[in-house]
């Protein structure tokens, strides 16, 4: 493929002499839901809507038509062709005593940073953290122990934006590695300038034999708009390419409801939103049964997971005419999310000399609950002083979060071990204030300084269950120091410098300081785990009240161009992390029962650096007869180093490149796209992680996908596609590294292969 040259972009810009106008609307029209292109506006990088070419940094933007076109049905499909974005997936663990390890998608990995180093927001509301206290994927191997962050149905989204690199100066703690913002559909997305409108969609995905359906409608009555939207899914386990070694059987169902009411009058806009999401998953963990030995369960290991999220929010926007500010907005919200795992494990009865000895029985329930309520206030003001134009942005972000977990167990193999509460219930207060000023120095230069001050207080509650848990461990000679309260004030500065040689080219450099405070769980984590190799000792994880914040310093230099020939961007990045928070670190001590004592610590330094190149070209610019044809390339590589232990970071993905050739009919009646993705073999691995051993290193692979659409009428669209057209057998590094089933020589490797050839089909009718 021939990438767009810088010269072509400059020439095209000079010929056009047109700069895109900036708008504040991010609504998606009905036609855009059906597949027509949107104005390329971004919000996430500056919290204000602006053309892509005028924004600094690297942002991935995914529209709803792209989700349907690419057959996206869950978190893992978002950004699947982006080389530096992935969604790690936790398979069922190979540990015979740990059948609840299949937590699914745990969140996002951006340029090698993942977990709670990535801020995840839905309509401006902070989403639950990733919980780790029941995970035994040690150190940088990852893992979420049954509590991922996948509380969403992609059919509800009108816009997904992913900021690569530090975003703490605008989004606060947890944004040190990147930010993912999800925006749900609104009434205007379905109305398309009519008094009423809606859509009906049916989908099928062969990869997990699943069906999905969406039904929604909106009406406008005077100054009011109302919308109701529903999406449901039902399916089974995701196929692998492991031959006779099939994946663990799974049945799942999910339901998502969203209702919104808008009222607009005299420059004011009010919106109320009600949302509920629920999913139930039943897993028959045959991988644990088949590997049973030394006290494991050799009859059945069954796991049921129930996830739900509810929210109520109210938003107010105001644009006063000639006021002291140009735009004001306020958001108030309440959200509750829960994740419950019920595990039932059985061993077969033994008959010895005519006497039946009952097999081992275990019943356990693990709950993670997060409740948050808060307010967000923001205002903008543009003014001119001499030859300098200022665009001021300021805001206050206040929230109160309550998190708690329960782990109850009844086990005939250990009747004493019933209360396994993993951490103390806690309240987390967050107060952030941010301010930035974009100074436009003439037509070509701009300088944007900004900073955010964040105060965070975590107050653990010594519940009865937690006190009893602490007392039980202290009886075994443990010295446990508990945290009374965690307080921290952090400053996150940012500086962007940009130069635009033409209206369609931009050179930029950015610096930002990122932060991540420890979670309430990390401050008071308690857990005991039997040695998975069959020994009687194992490990015990104790709290560390002396944890402090992580910090990062991010640099990015880049060039971007956008014109009639197409779009191009190249960006180099370097991030330095300090005081990494690492869980389950061996202290060098053992307790009276011979168990290793582990804890959570601020441990060391790390660097992640790399290069990303992307381009998309309109072939008609060079060959007018090929109007409608496009070619594109997106390639990126990141390298991560643990500078303390002088080894690699396992969270960093191998080099990946995606290229496509596509055609869209000039009237968008039909279109087709062929995409090839190459992923290099895994070269950089840290094998020093305790209890994991040498990790399996996936070889390089090449996957081809084919997708297309057909619009027999203006209101009916049929989308379909085939994934892995060449039936390539491969392993995803982000998933294979996340459990001991990824260890070299473990037969679980075949079970964790990615799917072979599969297809999807979607039919959408709008009205």
Q: Is the pLDDT of residue 686 over 70?
A: yes
Candidate from 33-47, 227-241, 343-357, 653-667 with smallest mean pLDDT? 33-47
What is the sign of the dihedral through the CA atoms of 57, 62, 66 and 72?
A: positive
CATH number at residue 667: 2.40.170.20
**742 inside domain:** yes
pLDDT of residue 582: 83
| pLDDT surpassing 90 at residue 104 | no
**Residue-level pLDDT at 248:** 83
**pLDDT-derived band at 638, boundaries 50, 70, 90:** very high
Say which DSSP state 681 is in: P
Token couple for 31: 């036609």
Instruction: Tell me the C-alpha to C-alpha distance, in Å, between residue 339 and each of 280, 368, 406.
Output: 10, 5, 11
> In this structure, are residues 257 and 229 in contact, taking their beta carbons and an 8 Å threshold?
yes
| Best CA proximity match to 767, nearest among 354, 323, 194 | 194
What integer is the mean pLDDT of 690-696?
A: 63
Given a cut of 90, whether residue 143 has pLDDT beyond it is no
Whether 140 shows a pLDDT value over 70: the answer reads no
User: Which pLDDT value is given to residue 587?
Assistant: 83
Residue 1 inside a domain? The answer is no
- Give pLDDT, residue 765: 97
- Determine the structural domain holding residue 512 and report its residue range: 6-481+496-766
pLDDT over 70 for what percent of the chain?
A: 86
From residue 70, how far is each of 81, 212, 344, 427, 604 by CA, in Å? 10, 15, 37, 40, 40
Nearest-angstrom CA–CA distance, 628 and 57: 29
Question: For residue range 354-398, what is the model confidence (pLDDT) as tens digits?
Answer: 899 888 888 988 889 999 999 999 999 999 888 899 999 999 999
Range with the poorest average pLDDT among 176-185, 490-499, 507-516, 537-546: 537-546
pLDDT of residue 502: 93
Model pLDDT for residues 453-502, shown as the tens digit of each residue: 999 999 999 888 888 888 887 776 667 888 789 999 999 999 999 999 99
698-713 per-position pLDDT tens digit: 899 999 999 999 999 9
The rounded radius of gyration (Å) of the Cα atoms in the chain is: 26
Instruction: Give dist(CA 112, CA 637) in Å, integer.
Output: 10
Domain count, the chain: 1
In a domain, 525, yes or no: yes
Q: Pick the residue with more confidence: 601 or 19?
A: 601
- pLDDT of residue 742 exceeding 50, the answer is no
What pLDDT is recorded for position 596?
82
What is the pLDDT averaged over residues 669-695?
A: 85
pLDDT for 673 beyond 60 = yes
Q: What percent of the chain has pLDDT over 90?
A: 54
Instruction: Give 5-21 pLDDT, tens digit per residue.
Output: 333 333 333 333 333 33
**Residue partners of 327: CB distance under 8 A and separation at least 6:** 24, 317, 318, 319, 379, 380
Q: Is the pLDDT of residue 52 over 80?
A: yes
- What's the start-to-end Cα distance of the chain, in Å? 40
Residue 102 pLDDT class (50, 70, 90 cuts): low
pLDDT at 740 over 80: no
In a domain? residue 360: yes
Q: How high is the pLDDT of residue 288? A: 75
What pLDDT score was predicted for residue 309?
96
* pLDDT beyond 70 at 93: no
What digits encode the pLDDT tens for the residues 223-265? 999 999 999 999 998 888 877 788 888 999 999 999 999 999 9
| 489 found inside a domain | no
Q: For residue 283, what pLDDT band results from cuts at 50, 70 and 90?
A: confident
Residue 487 lies in a domain: no
What DSSP character marks residue 176? S
Mean pLDDT of 575-596: 84
Higher-pLDDT residue of 587 and 747 is: 587
Distance (Å, whole) CA 399 – CA 372: 7
| Size of the chain, expressed as the number of residues it contains | 767
pTM to 2 decimals?
0.89
Give the DSSP letter of residue 124.
T
Residues 6 or more apart whose Cβ sits within 8 Å of residue 408 = 364, 365, 418, 419, 420
User: Which pLDDT band holds residue 133 (cuts at 50, 70, 90)?
Assistant: low
- Strand locations in 421-538 (E): 426-441, 445-460, 486-502, 505-516, 527-529
Q: Does the residue 199 lie in any domain?
A: yes
Q: Flag whether 486 is in a domain.
A: no
pLDDT for residue 623 is more than 80: yes
pLDDT at 414: 74
């Amino acid at each position: 493929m021939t990438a767009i040259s810088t010269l072509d972009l400059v020439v095209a810009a000079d010929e056009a002499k047109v700069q895109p106008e900036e708008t504040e609307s991010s609504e998606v029209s009905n036609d855009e839901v059906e597949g027509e292109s949107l104005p390329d506006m971004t919000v996430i990088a500056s919290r204000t809507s602006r053309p892509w070419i005028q924004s600094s940094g690297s942002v991935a933007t995914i529209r709803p038509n792209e989700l349907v076109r690419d057959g996206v049905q869950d978190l893992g499909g978002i950004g699947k062709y982006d080389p530096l974005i992935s969604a790690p997936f936790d398979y069922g663990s190979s540990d015979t005593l740990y059948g609840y390890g299949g937590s699914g998608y745990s969140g996002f990995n951006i340029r090698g940073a993942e977990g709670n180093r990535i801020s995840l927001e839905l309509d401006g509301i902070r989403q639950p953290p990733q919980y780790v206290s029941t995970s035994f994927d040690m150190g940088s191997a990852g893992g979420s122990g049954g509590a991922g962050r996948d509380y969403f149905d992609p059919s509800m989204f009108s816009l997904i934006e992913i900021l690569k690199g530090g975003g703490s100066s605008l989004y606060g703690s947890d944004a040190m590695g990147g930010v993912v913002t999800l925006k749900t559909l609104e009434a205007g997305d379905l109305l398309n300038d009519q008094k009423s409108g809606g859509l009906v969609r049916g989908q099928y995905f062969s990869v997990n034999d699943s069906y999905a359906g969406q039904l929604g409608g909106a009406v406008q009555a005077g100054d009011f708009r109302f919308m109701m939207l529903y999406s449901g899914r039902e399916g089974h386990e995701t196929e692998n390419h492991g031959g006779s070694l099939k994946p663990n059987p799974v049945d799942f169902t999910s339901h998502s409801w969203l209702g919104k009411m808008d009222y607009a009058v005299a420059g004011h806009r009010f919106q109320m939103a009600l949302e509920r999401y629920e999913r139930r998953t039943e897993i028959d963990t045959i991988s644990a049964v088949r590997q049973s030995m030394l006290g494991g369960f050799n009859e059945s290991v069954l796991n049921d997971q129930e996830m739900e999220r509810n929210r109520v929010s109210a938003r107010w926007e105001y644009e006063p005419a000639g006021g002291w500010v140009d735009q004001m907005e306020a958001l108030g919200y309440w959200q509750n999310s829960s994740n419950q795992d019920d595990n039932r494990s059985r061993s077969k009865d033994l008959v010895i000399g005519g006497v039946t000895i009952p097999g081992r029985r275990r019943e356990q329930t693990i709950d993670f609950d997060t409740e948050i309520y808060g307010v967000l206030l923001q205002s903008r003001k543009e003014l001119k002083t001499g030859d300098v134009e200022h665009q001021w942005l300021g805001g206050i972000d206040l929230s109160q979060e309550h998190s708690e977990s329960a782990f109850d167990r009844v086990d005939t193999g250990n009747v004493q071990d019933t209360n396994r509460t993993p951490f103390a219930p806690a309240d987390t207060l967050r107060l952030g204030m941010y301010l930035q000023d974009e100074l436009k120095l003439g037509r070509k230069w701009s300088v944007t300084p900004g900073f955010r001050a964040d105060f965070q207080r975590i107050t653990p509650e010594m519940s009865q269950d937690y006190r009893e848990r602490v007392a039980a461990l202290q009886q075994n000679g443990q010295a446990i120091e508990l945290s009374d309260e965690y307080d921290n004030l952090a400053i996150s500065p940012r500086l962007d410098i940009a130069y635009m040689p033409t209206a369609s080219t931009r050179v930029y450099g950015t610096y930002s300081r990122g932060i991540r405070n420890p979670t309430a769980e990390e401050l008071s984590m308690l857990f005991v785990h039997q040695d998975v190799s069959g020994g009687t000792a194992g490990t015990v994880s104790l709290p560390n009240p002396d944890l402090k914040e992580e910090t990062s310093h991010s640099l990015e230099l880049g060039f971007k161009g956008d014109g009639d020939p197409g779009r191009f961007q190249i960006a180099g990045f370097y991030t330095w992390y300090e005081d990494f928070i690492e869980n389950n670190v061996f202290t060098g001590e053992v307790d009276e029962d011979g168990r290793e004592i582990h804890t959570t610590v601020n441990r060391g330094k790390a660097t992640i650096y790399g290069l990303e190149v992307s381009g998309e070209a309109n072939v008609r610019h060079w060959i007018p007869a090929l109007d409608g044809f496009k070619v594109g390339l997106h390639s990126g590589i990141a390298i991560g180093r643990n500078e303390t232990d002088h080894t690699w970071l396992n969270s960093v993905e191998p080099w990946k490149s995606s290229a496509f050739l596509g055609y869209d009919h000039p009237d968008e009646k039909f279109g087709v796209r062929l995409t090839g993705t190459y992923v290099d073999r895994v070269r950089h691995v840290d094998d020093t992680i305790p209890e994991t051993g040498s990790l399996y290193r996936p070889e390089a692979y090449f996957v081809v996908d084919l997708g297309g659409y057909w619009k027999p009428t203006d209101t009916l669209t049929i989308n379909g596609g085939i994934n892995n057209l060449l039936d390539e057998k491969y392993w995803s590094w982000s998933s294979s590294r996340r459990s001991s089933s990824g260890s070299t020589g473990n037969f679980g490797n075949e079970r964790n292969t990615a799917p072979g050839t599969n297809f999807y089909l979607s039919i959408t009718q709008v009205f």
